[in-house]
Structure formats: structure tokens, C-alpha cells
């Protein structure tokens, strides 16, 4: 938990140190190939991505995928976490085709195991929207931002940071598409959310 808090606060060196310590403890108590080890490894991957250590993250991603597949099977819901990390790694390095392949693989697993309104499915829609935006495929990005928002707005509180983040990105996309009225509506929605949050 402390490591996650440090990551969220951008204290990356401290987060990395705590995760490496947690990894050593978990390996000694549960074994090197326990699924809980893969969870800690996935946290380390996110830290390395934040530090732009993309190549350093690659062996960790491969290890977490191997652990999940061996311990749980290739279609287990936990596989999606490692697949998303691999997709993120490719996206961050500009390899959009392979990023899309792994996002869609993770999405397929989650759609088969989770309900259509699950935020973990919205997470992948959001990541795919970002991928399509990076490729200037604005109409595809538009559809996916909207799908992600529809799920998050039904499952999270309106002022949740992820909703604000998506609304901000979506508004930028709509301006790019010359959909200025829709963009301004989103910007007004963001303003009202922030105003409500400040009054709580």
C-alpha cells in the first residue's frame, strides 16, 4: 500500500525501493512463481514506465506473464494485468500495432469474465482511445472515450480523478475534430465537477 501511495505521489525512487523489498519478501514466503509475486512485479513495471525505463520493464513484464499463465492459465482474468502492462510498454515506445494487439487481447479476457459495466473494461477502452488518438484516428478515439466515460460515470463518483482526466482528454480530441460545441460542453462539465469538489 505504501508503495502504491508513493507511486501516485510521483515518489518513484521510494516506490521502487518499497516494491523491491515487498518482492523479496513475497518470493521468500510464497515462492518465485506465486501469482502474488506477479502483482508486485506489475507494480514495478508501472514505476519503470513512469521513469521511462521501458527496456528495463520488458523482462519484468515477461516474467509476470509467465507466472500468471503457468499458475492460473492463459485466460484467467489476472492475465489482463500483465497484458495491459505489455501493451502500455509498446504504446510508450510508439509501437502502436503491438500495443493494440495486447490491449485487445486483455479486453477479450475481461469481456468474457466481467460484466460490460465493469470499470476494468472501461480502463482498456480508455487506453485504446489514447492509442487511437496518438495515431490521429480521431473517430475511433471518440467512440472509445465515450464508451469508457459511460461506464465510469455509472460506476464511480462524478468527481473521481479518472473521470476528470478522460473528460479533459476527450475535450482536446473534440477540439481537434472541430467539434467545438461538444468540447465546450465537456469543459463546462469539468468546471462544475471541480466546483462541486471544492465545496465538499
Question: Which domains are delineated in the chain?
Answer: 1-113 (1.25.40.10), 117-200 (1.25.40.10)
Virtual torsion, Cα 171, 176, 179, 182, nearest 10 deg: 0
Long-range residue pairs from 96-105, CB within 8 A, at least 24 positions apart, any chain? 96/131, 96/134, 96/135, 99/131, 100/128, 100/131, 103/127, 103/128, 103/131, 104/128
The predicted structure's pLDDT at residue 66: 95
String of DSSP letters for 92-160: HTT-HHHHHHHHHHHHHHHHHHS-TT-HHHHHHHHHHHHHHHHTT-HHHHHHHHHHHHHHHHHHS-TT-
pTM exceeding 0.75: yes
How do the pLDDT tens digits run along the chain, 200 residues long? Answer: 333 433 455 678 888 888 889 989 999 999 999 989 999 999 999 999 998 999 999 999 999 999 999 998 999 988 999 999 999 999 999 999 999 999 999 999 999 999 888 999 999 999 999 999 999 999 999 999 999 999 999 999 888 999 999 999 999 999 999 999 999 999 999 999 888 877 65
The predicted structure's pLDDT at residue 6: 38
Amino acid at each position: 500500500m505504501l508503495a502504491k501511495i508513493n507511486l501516485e505521489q510521483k515518489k518513484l525512487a521510494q516506490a521502487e525501493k518499497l516494491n523491491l523489498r515487498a518482492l523479496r519478501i513475497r518470493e521468500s514466503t510464497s515462492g518465485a512463481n506465486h501469482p502474488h509475486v506477479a502483482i508486485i512485479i506489475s507494480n514495478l513495471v508501472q514505476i519503470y514506465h513512469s521513469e521511462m525505463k521501458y527496456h528495463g520493464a520488458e523482462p519484468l513484464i515477461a516474467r509476470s506473464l509467465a507466472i500468471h499463465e503457468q499458475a492460473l492459465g492463459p485466460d484467467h482474468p489476472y492475465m489482463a494485468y500483465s497484458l495491459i502492462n505489455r501493451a502500455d510498454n509498446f504504446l510508450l515506445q510508439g509501437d502502436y500495432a503491438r500495443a493494440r494487439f495486447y490491449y485487445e487481447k486483455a479486453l477479450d479476457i475481461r469481456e468474457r469474465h466481467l460484466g460490460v459495466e465493469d470499470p476494468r473494461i472501461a480502463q482498456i477502452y480508455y487506453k485504446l482511445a489514447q492509442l487511437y488518438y496518438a495515431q490521429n484516428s480521431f473517430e475511433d478515439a471518440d467512440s472509445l472515450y465515450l464508451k469508457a466515460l459511460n461506464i465510469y460515470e455509472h460506476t464511480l463518483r462524478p468527481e473521481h480523478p479518472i473521470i476528470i482526466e478522460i473528460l479533459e482528454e476527450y475535450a482536446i480530441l473534440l477540439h481537434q475534430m472541430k467539434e467545438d460545441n461538444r468540447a465546450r460542453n465537456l469543459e463546462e462539465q469539468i468546471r462544475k465537477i471541480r466546483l462541486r469538489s471544492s465545496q465538499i
